[in-house]
Amino acid sequence: MRALPRCFLALVVTAVFVSGAYSQTPPPTQAKPGAPQAPARDTKAPKTATGVIKGRVVAAGTGAPLRRARLLLSAPGLERPLYAATDGQGRYEFADLAAGRYTLKASKSAYVTLEYGQRRAFEAGKPIELADGAALDKVDMSLPRGGVISGTVVDDMGEPVAGLSVTALRSLYDQGKRKFVATGLTVQTNDLGQYRLYGLQPGTYFVGTRPTPGPSTDGYPFAPSYYPGTLNPGEAQRVTVRVGQERSGVDLTQPPGRLARVSGVVVDSAARPLAGTSVSIVSPSTGYMLSAPVKPDGSFLLSNVAPGEYFLAAIVRGPGIGDLQQTMLPITITGEDLAGLVLQMTPGSRVIGRIVSEEGTSLPSSPAGIRVDPLPMTTDVPIRIQNIGTQGIVSDDWSFEMRGLGGTILFRPSRLPAGYMLKSVLLDGRDVTDTPIDIRGTEDLTGLQVVVTSRVTEINGAPGDAKGQPVLEYTVLVFAEDAARWKYPSRFLATARPDQQGRFRTANLPPGRYLAVALEYLEEGQSEDPDYLEALRPLATRFTLGEGETKTLDLTVTKADET
């Protein structure tokens, strides 16, 4: 059986809180199913937000105040995160807050960036429950010095290589696949070939280099490589860093690579040369991306492309919202130049739909802030180069419209009001909730219905240890019993951290049969790893979740050495 990773040296994060509160929207009134709902009338004046969260940020070990540390406070009900900076005594304050469940993050250069409640590297933080009008004082955080990886990059002749980007990478599951994911800083080597990556959380990394786009500093081509000096990600060696440790002497020999030129022309949907955009080439395995402008005659040229599998992508936007054309093409580079490519743009499709309620519910008075998001399912391509068109901003009559869509897409509502969750997504009456729709970009879709329900599910509890004593530090992982439902992006999987009273809560899971386990430590990305989930089956508690059901689980925290 696969074992959990050993705990890292604890990261010191402390906080003292007043009890919070959780409230739900009262059940809505009855309404005809499947039909647009008329807005209900508001009968109560909105409450004034008067809550406060404040505290200090200090250096772990010394307790010295950290000046100008950056605080970020977020919550599902906020349109955008709130920011604050500490003063000369390390103090910060967020005022005029509504009741809710908040996430707090603190950062400062050369120190480890932490979320409140994070005790170990790459662990999720803990939520802060803020009751209506409550003032939470002494929400203090201690930031340890970050780890450092440093070294020198030389070529195969022993000469220093300047101008190479160097980054720390982690191997983890992301968007349903194991891949190298960059973390921390990306720095460039200086004229002596030296680099220094700092502010790293304790953990295990791979060090990778990425040539600066365009001609290399000394005119010699270099391909993306990995410590200690390989072009093959599978041969990369690990570098482990403890809290505040500096790992010097992590020197790389940058092997020369036979780099290719990729060229062609971009044309519009009528096969006419198209300028005013750029072409990007992206590696799905490493996320490396290189872009080049399209010239007035529609031609493009990408230089210094290492061997590998890639996607070529281009997007051009018109004068109107959602007026755009797009294209994406998979290619393979073997070291030889690739010329004569034709990237033909496709106009995006328009999708028209409506949010409706299931039988027995009516919709809230206003859809302000609610939207329907198109979720691209081409998971081999980083989201940042995928065109997802416009978001579906919901109008007063609960209708929405999106333009410029193309590709394989799922649809999900976001910012639903408290007391509502997604029931299903229907296209012309067919259930496509978890079935991606192939949108060609040449025809419109007009029969999309997003069905929401007020029969919200919730799972909660307060796990204890083997002796039944309360535990304040753990992570609960809930996942479907059926492994077929683990595929990214799964609605049937959730993680939860305890609040300041040691209780966890997670909501809006679809009805079904589930497994739940309380873990002493869960590292980022592990919840997406199917092998890891399978290994947890014997340790998990089985339960069935019905529509609108609130389930309280009696869990025992599993220690790392017990898995």
Domain boundaries, the chain: 51-143, 147-254, 261-346, 349-453, 458-562
Using DSSP, state whether 77 is helix, strand or coil.
Answer: coil
Which pLDDT score, from 0 to 100, does residue 207 have? 96
Task: Give strand ranges (E) for 128-243.
Answer: 128-130, 135-136, 141-143, 147-155, 164-174, 177-188, 194-200, 203-211, 225-226, 239-241
Residue 345 in this model has a pLDDT that exceeds 70: yes
Task: Give strand ranges (E) for 39-160.
Answer: 51-59, 70-74, 82-85, 91-97, 100-107, 114-115, 128-130, 135-136, 141-143, 147-155
Q: The CATH number of 261-346 is which of 2.130.10.10, 2.160.10.10, 2.60.40.10, 3.30.1360.100?
A: 2.60.40.10
Distance CA 120, CA 521 (A): 8
pLDDT band at residue 334 under the 50/70/90 scheme: confident
Which pLDDT score, from 0 to 100, does residue 489 have? 87
Residue 460 in this model has a pLDDT that exceeds 60: yes
Q: Which of 557, 548, 502, 520 is nearest to 20 (CA)?
A: 502
Residue 150 burial (10 A CB sphere; 0-12, 13-18, 19+) = middle
Distance CA 355, CA 425 (A): 9
Distance CA 222, CA 220 (A): 7
Which pLDDT score, from 0 to 100, does residue 178 have? 82
Q: Which residues pair with 376 in a beta bridge?
A: 409
Cis peptide, bond prior to residue 374, ω within 30 of zero: no
Report the percentage of the chain scoring pLDDT > 70.
83
Distance CA 557, CA 534 (A): 18
Task: Give strand ranges (E) for 271-348.
Answer: 278-282, 289-293, 299-305, 308-317, 324-333, 338-344, 346-347
Residue 11 in this model has a pLDDT that exceeds 90: no
Mean pLDDT of 89-99: 95
SS (H, E, C) 247-287: ECCCCEEECECCCEEEEEEEECCCCCECCCCEEEEECCCCC
Query: Which stretch, 143-147, 218-222, 411-415, has highest mean pLDDT?
Result: 143-147
Which pLDDT score, from 0 to 100, does residue 94 have? 97
Whether residue 545 contacts residue 480, with contact meaning beta carbons closer than 8 Å, is answered with no
Distance CA 117, CA 275 (A): 50
What dotted CATH number matches 349-453? 2.60.40.10
Instruction: Give the ranges where 42-153 is alpha helix by DSSP (H).
Output: none
Cis peptide, bond prior to residue 417, ω within 30 of zero: no
Residue 19 CB neighbours (<10 A): 11
pLDDT band at residue 560 under the 50/70/90 scheme: low
Mean pLDDT of 257-270: 86
Listed range (198-207, 210-219, 539-548) with the worst mean pLDDT: 210-219
Whether residue 252 contacts residue 340, with contact meaning beta carbons closer than 8 Å, is answered with no
What dotted CATH number matches 147-254? 2.60.40.1120
> What's the chain's average pLDDT?
83
Which pLDDT score, from 0 to 100, does residue 411 have? 93
Residue 106 in this model has a pLDDT that exceeds 90: yes
Q: The CATH number of 51-143 is which of 2.60.120.200, 2.60.40.420, 2.60.40.1120, 1.10.8.60?
A: 2.60.40.1120
Domain 349-453 in the same topology as domain 147-254: yes
* Homologous superfamily (CATH) for 458-562: Carboxypeptidase-like, regulatory domain (2.60.40.1120)
